[in-house]
Amino acid sequence: MRLKHKKVLIVFTVNDNYTTKNIVNNKPTNIDFIDVGNPCNRSCSNCFKRRINSNFDKENEQNLVNKIMKKNKSSNFFLFPNEATTSPYLFDLMVEIGQKYSLSNGLLLDERMVDMMLIAGLESVKVTYFANAKEQIEWQN
């Protein structure tokens, strides 16, 4: 039985090491970059992307993303920045790969940031609401 659509997870670091899983016909159909961008401005306990004191070399990161995209031209791509609003340098790349939206915790989502997203070509932002129960109650008030 051959599956038409499989999701592939590519985990990589800026030193060009990456591993792939769930390859179909020697090429992944979807590649989600889940560990790109500057660190998030929150540290929600339930977020799988929570990290402390991390920092990326933006140029090497973008070069690696481009290298993976060139090797997998028939694949679909999606960038999941650690937090979109802390990594606006990725907006143009998101649009270049055909991405129309991004995720954000919304804390830095002001008029200036929305304008930057619109100018880059993003059409929408899905605001996540991850926090502990106490924080959720505080934010609702």
* C-alpha–C-alpha distance, residues 59 and 14, integer Å: 9
Q: Are 125 and 105 in contact (CB under 8 A)?
A: no
Residue 75 burial (C-beta neighbours within 10 Å; 0-12, 13-18, 19+): middle
41 has pLDDT over 90: no
Per-residue confidence band for 3, with pLDDT thresholds at 50, 70 and 90:
very low
Parse the chain into domains and list their residue ranges.
Answer: 7-140
Model pLDDT for residues 111-138, shown as the tens digit of each residue: 999 999 999 999 888 887 665 566 666 7
Mean pLDDT of the chain: 72
- Quick one: pLDDT at residue 55? 54
- Quick one: pLDDT at residue 119? 92
